[in-house]
Amino acid sequence: MTGWRRPVGRAVPVILLATLLAWLGGGQAQLGRIDPALALPVLFPPLVLLAAWCRHDDAVVRRRTLIAASSAIVLAQAALGLVLAGQLAWLQLALIAAGGLAAGALAELLMCRRPRWWMLTWLAAALVAAGWFAASHALLGRLYRPALAPPGASVATVLTGLPLRWSGEADMAAIIAGKRADDPALVRLEAAGPLRLVDSLVDRGPPPGGTLLLAHPRALAPQELVAIDSFVRGGGKAVILADALSGWPAAHPIGDPRNPPVTSLLTPLLDHWGVTLAAANPDAPMLVAADVDAARLLLASAGRFERLPAACRDYADRHVARCPIGKGEVWLVGDADLLFAPLWAPPVAGAEHLRPADTMAWMAARLWPGAGVAPFHPVWIRRDAR
């Protein structure tokens, strides 16, 4: 143990610096997550400082110092995961262990050379740190990227009152010219699997084996309500977003029928299933983090299902529920604003590892079995641990 005393002592400040950088610079604090993988982009700077500190030691001491520092970083991230999230992300910890050893070896290679000008060594270290940062984010973006629907997946049918298609100002000339983009939620879903938007379910119901997404639709005709009930009871699967008070931005003046409905118009269907949706609690926070199994959804002014059939399973204080209806199954969410891009989109396109919520991955998994999964998934800090 005597030969390890100096390496372990030198590893202590490296642990503290790496943990602080991961918490602040890696995005753990901002995203409400404790993913060990988020430490990967910021591993190189602490280890290059350690290599500079140990450059006059012999090779055995430098090697032991690197092993001690890398092991301690992994242990620190594992401890934070257990305390704040109650889980260990083994694959992520393995990545950090390998990344720490690789970054440390690279740092030692740079710092143990004996250049004529040290300024050039530090400049090279800065360039390597920038490259390490960019490459790490690119790697994490791929590891967190949700899988697409498998080949041959059935079409998901979407009926919605939200402005997902041709979102923005109502300018027919712009629509014809193709200058108006669809809403990011629709773009994301269409990229994840086969999907079709319909205006009515009377003649264009979900195909056999397909799924249904009802996203805060406008008032439905009795025939459509019957079609939905028959589809689910016959073994179909549906996701229903029923918002008691929608906060989706309106593109038109108040009262314009082109705006999304202010409140859910699905009460007849929900009543038939034994479900009652209540308005959001005015004293509750506007944004609610709903944990559904391992996924986190961000809800805005979400309603609460006060009455549910006994067979239903509820989540997040009854803001979300999963109910068997006949031979089928329906997911009920008391909020449609969760599709609003600022609540789920990462700050940089493609940076799935920096997403603030699992909304679109969760939605894809509900609509297409096999979609939405990824090698790495966010490790969310428990709400009671904040």
Residue ending a domain, choose from 143, 177, 203? 143
Do 48 and 107 contact (CB within 8 A), yes or no?
Answer: yes
- pLDDT number for residue 61: 82
The answer to whether residues 166 and 308 belong to one domain is yes
Domain for residue 129, yes or no? yes
Please name every residue paired with 238 in a beta bridge, in sequence order, or none if there are none. Answer: 212, 330
Among 143, 178, 205, the domain boundary falls at: 143
Regarding whether 244 and 127 lie in a shared domain, the answer is: no
Structure confidence at residue 170 (pLDDT) = 47
Residues 135 and 169 in one domain: no
Cα distances (Å, whole numbers) of residue 373 to 144, 333, 370: 9, 21, 7
Q: What is the pLDDT of residue 9?
A: 74
In sequence order, what are the residues at sequence separation of 6 or more whose Cβ sits closer than 8 angstroms to the Cβ of residue 325?
A: 229, 232, 233, 273
Produce one character per residue of 246-266: b if its CB has 16 or more CB atoms within 10 Å, e if not.
bbbeeeeeeeeeebbbbebeb
* 214 within a domain of the structure (yes/no): yes
Among residues 267, 200, 207, the alpha carbon closest in space to that of 234 is found at 207
Do 182 and 261 lie in a common domain? Answer: yes
Nearest one of 242, 243, 236, 241 to 324, comparing CA atoms: 236
Asked whether residue 315 falls in the same domain as residue 248, the answer is yes
Tally of domains within the chain: 2
- Which pLDDT score is estimated for 165? 85
Q: Which domain holds residue 28?
A: 2-143
Domain boundary among 115, 143, 171: 143
Query: For position 3, what pLDDT does the model report?
Result: 64
Q: Enumerate residue ranges in the chain where pLDDT < 70.
A: 1-3, 6-7, 114-117, 167-180, 250-259, 385-386
Domain harbouring 339, CATH code: 3.40.50
What does the alpha-carbon distance between residue 262 and residue 282 come to, in Å, rounded to a whole number?
Answer: 16
The reply to whether 170 and 254 lie within a common domain is yes
> Does 337 reside within a domain?
yes
Does residue 148 lie in a domain region?
Answer: no
Could you tell me if 240 and 281 lie in one domain? yes
**Is 234 found in the same domain as 97?**
no
Q: Do residues 320 and 273 share a domain?
A: yes
Same domain, 91 and 164: no
**What pLDDT was estimated at residue 224?**
93
Residue 382 counted as domain residue: no
pLDDT for res 147:
96
The whole-number pLDDT of residue 171 equals 54
pLDDT of residue 253: 59
311 in the same domain as 355: yes
In a domain, 381, yes or no: no
Assigned domain for 379 exists: no
User: Is-contact 26 42, C-beta < 8 A?
Assistant: yes
Verify that 317 and 340 share a domain, yes or no: yes
Residue 317, domain member (yes or no) = yes
The answer to whether residues 292 and 315 touch, using CB atoms and an 8 Å cutoff, is yes
pLDDT for res 168: 53
